Amino acid sequence: MSKITCIIIEDEPLAVKVLKDYIAEVPFLDLQGTFKDAILATDYLRHHTVELMFLDIHLPKLKGMAFLKTLSHPPAVIITTAYHQYAVEGFDLNVTDYLLKPFEFERFLIAVTKVKTTTKAIPQANEPIETKDFVFLNVQKKKVKVLFTEIVYIESQREYIKIVCNKKEYLSKISTHEIEALLPANRFKRIHRSFIIAVEKIESYTAEVVEVNGVTIPIGRGYREVIENL
């Protein structure tokens, strides 16, 4: 699985640490470097290509928005700031998402998953189009093939996950973050820190719950926009 290369442009050490810790929790992200100001980042971008930037707005020397306007072909951008008043300008500059500090991991994951979905939607030159419709999971000391079309929902159970399918259930020792990275983002959505659902199995939903194959699953507070965007 190819990873999304990213950099952090942030001058607050604590904010850098939070982002680095969050990035380390996401299997499809590959952190290439951190920069305390936009000038240093500009020099790096002259010689390296990255797919995602985590960009603070209030930076020394050159502000984040001004820096963004200097880039003729910017990568995907996720703004990280404590100031909400720049959101409109950020979206005018086609940023992928706008995270208001302090933000939880769940909100961070929603943002980077948007980048993952966009990246996967545009095949690179000479790259075969993804056609795999299954995943192999470790279940009771053997590899079990699980078809995407059979999965109804996935539930976190501490260090295990329960994969509920149309006719069977499986228990596998893997995190929800790891399984989410293996699933096609257009077919599966995380709606709670403990639940991932198959979009095609949704029967109905409200602002608080989703029904899939007769099972009611709660929607986490930080995931409501996922359902709204369906």
pLDDT single digits (tens) 200-223: 999 999 989 999 989 999 998 878
For 71-80, the pLDDT digits (tens) are: 878 889 999 9
Decide if domain 4-121 falls under CATH 3.40.50.2300: yes
Asked if 219 and 207 count as a contact pair (C-beta separation under 8 A), the reply is yes
Say yes or no to pLDDT of 122 above 60.
no
Fold of 134-228: OB fold (Dihydrolipoamide Acetyltransferase, E2P) (2.40.50)
Q: Which residues of 29-48 are buried (b: 16+ CB within 10 A; e: fewer)?
A: bebeebbbbbeebeeebeee
Collapsing DSSP to helix, strand or coil, 186 comes out as coil
Token digits for 99?
A: 């995270």
Its pTM stands at 0.53
Q: Where are the domains of the chain?
A: 4-121, 134-228
Q: What distances in angstroms separate CA 60 from CA 10, 66, 74, 124, one per listed residue?
A: 9, 12, 20, 36
Least confident of 113-127, 135-149, 187-201: 113-127
Asked if 52 and 205 count as a contact pair (C-beta separation under 8 A), the reply is no
Q: What distances in angstroms separate CA 54 from CA 133, 202, 203, one per listed residue?
A: 32, 33, 36
* Strand 188-192, strand 169-172: pairing: unpaired
Question: In this structure, which amino acid lies at residue 113?
Answer: T
For 23-59, the pLDDT digits (tens) are: 999 999 999 999 999 999 988 888 888 999 999 988 8
Q: What distances in angstroms separate CA 111 from CA 97, 126, 145, one per listed residue?
A: 6, 28, 30
